[in-house]
């Protein structure tokens, strides 16, 4: 039988444009397009989080005082809204989720 451990709750903000997250700053000039092959958007639509480039749609995940950048695809596969966990997910006998 397989069991899965539930992940800790995290704070997350999806970044789509400048102003969505206070720590993301505009990227400088110098490119016409994103360095990622999978991102077709112009360079000026991107942001910078420390040394990382933020593409529109990326998620900024905050946990334990640190921030991690997660692509929208990876975020959808790894995280679910806390509201999605309901009482029906609890074990009737012990109350554990």
Give the start-to-end residue ranges of the domains of the chain. Answer: 11-81
Q: What is the pLDDT of residue 6?
A: 55
Rounded to whole angstroms, the Cα distance separating 42 from 62 reads: 27
Residues 6+ apart with CB under 8 A from 58: 14, 15, 69, 70, 71, 72
Tell me the pTM: 0.64
Along the chain (97 residues), what's the average pLDDT of each consecutive run of 10 residues? Answer: 56 87 77 67 84 89 86 84 59 50
């Amino acid at each position: 039988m397989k069991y899965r451990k539930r992940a800790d709750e995290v704070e997350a903000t999806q970044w789509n444009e400048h102003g969505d997250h206070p720590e993301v700053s505009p990227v400088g000039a110098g490119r016409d397009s994103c360095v990622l092959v999978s991102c077709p958007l112009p360079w000026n639509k991107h942001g910078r989080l420390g040394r990382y480039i933020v593409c529109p749609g990326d998620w900024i995940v905050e946990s334990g005082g640190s921030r991690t950048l997660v692509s929208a695809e990876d975020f959808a596969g790894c995280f679910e809204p806390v509201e999605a966990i309901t009482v029906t997910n609890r074990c009737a006998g012990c109350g554990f989720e």
